[in-house]
Amino acid sequence: MLSRHFLRTKVLQSLYAYSVSGGDDLGIIEKNFLHNIERLNDLGVTQVSALLYFFEVAKKNIEDAKAKFCPTEDEMNPNMRLVDNRFVLQLNNNYELKKACERLKINWSEYSSIFRNMYATFKTTATYKEYMNTENRDFKTEHEMVLATYRYILNYEPLADVFVERNLFWEDDYFQVAQYTHTILKELNEDFSVESPFPLPYDKRNETDLLVCDFAVELLKKTILLFDKNTEVIKQNLKQWEFDRVAMIDILILKMAITEFMCFPTIPEKVTINECIEMSIEYSTNKSRLFINGILSKMHVELRSQGKIKKTGRGLIEESFNGE
């Protein structure tokens, strides 16, 4: 599920920490990197648990309204459509998801006021009103409503702030993992049951996930092993800039690129260059894009002429991989 681009950004962050710390043991760096990747699963599970708690709050709100001293006719005979959503019931009953929530000791009750406010505003949306008034109860309709609810609550700013309070490391990855988790929920069908495996953003049961993560680990390790050598390669190509005045992030991106050029024969150079430009846009200065593009193009030509870039298989194809 995790894309190469996303994992490249995680490698960049680890390289930055390595540079700032003065250099840790390679084994520790790899261990911390994998721990941080697996921690993304905790974020994904917590986001799904927030979705399920939202429906709990909705049900409690209906029950409280019925218990009022003088309930209205609508409060006495509420529309239970939302809280009886069968896809929500499927998620609530799934054994793996339950165990994951229990392991993380997730408890949203102290934030119930945020969820109540969120529910109150959600009821004013066209999505909610249309769903509550339709007579269609097929799985597709129920499923799409849960996905729409998930998007709504994960974009609710007070809730996003709570996630950051719970774990500062989640701030940078909150929306990316929310997108991955949304994809996971979208792919579940009506056969999803109590005993079904619950997919995760980084799922070790998925061979593709393992391969992509292995790529990221190797990129991290090899970039560190070539750290000083790549510094010299960069310096040789900085004709109009002083090395010490180049942004650290830009230097790290260039070092990752050189490593990919020379150590990953199946990855086309064009893919590497495009990915590094994207990272410069996301994480560096406004001028970094042009700088990275110019230096990488120059280094690419030089390294090729020196025979240091040898591509095979898919690396010979100058086009992006699927999912890149």
322 touches 2 (CB < 8 A): no
> Would you state the pLDDT for residue 125?
96
Amino acid at 19: S
Amino acid at 18: Y
Dihedral angle over CA of 159, 160, 162, 164, nearest 10: 170
Parts of the chain with a pLDDT under 70:
23-24, 314-324
> Would you state the pLDDT for residue 314?
66
Q: Which domains does the chain have, with CATH numbers?
A: 25-187 (no CATH), 226-316 (1.10.940.10)
Read out DSSP for 48-95? HHHHHHHHHHHHHHHHHHHTSSS--HHHHS---TTTT-HHHHHHHH-H
The pTM assigned to this predicted structure is 0.89
Q: How far apart are CA 226 and CA 177, in angstroms?
A: 31
> Would you state the pLDDT for residue 52?
97
Q: How far apart are CA 39 and CA 18, in angstroms?
A: 19
> Would you state the pLDDT for residue 285?
85
Q: How far apart are CA 226 and CA 241, in angstroms?
A: 22
Read out DSSP for 258-317? HHHHHH-TTS-HHHHHHHHHHHHHHHS-TTHHHHHHHHHHHHHHHHHHTT-----GGGGS
**Taking the CA atoms of the chain, what radius of gyration do you get in angstroms?**
24
Q: How far apart are CA 208 and CA 210, in angstroms?
A: 5
Question: Which DSSP state fits 320?
Answer: P
> Would you state the pLDDT for residue 315?
64
Contacts of 151 (CB under 8 A, 6+ apart): 182
Nearest to 285 by CA among 324, 245, 237, 323: 245
Contacts of 294 (CB under 8 A, 6+ apart): none
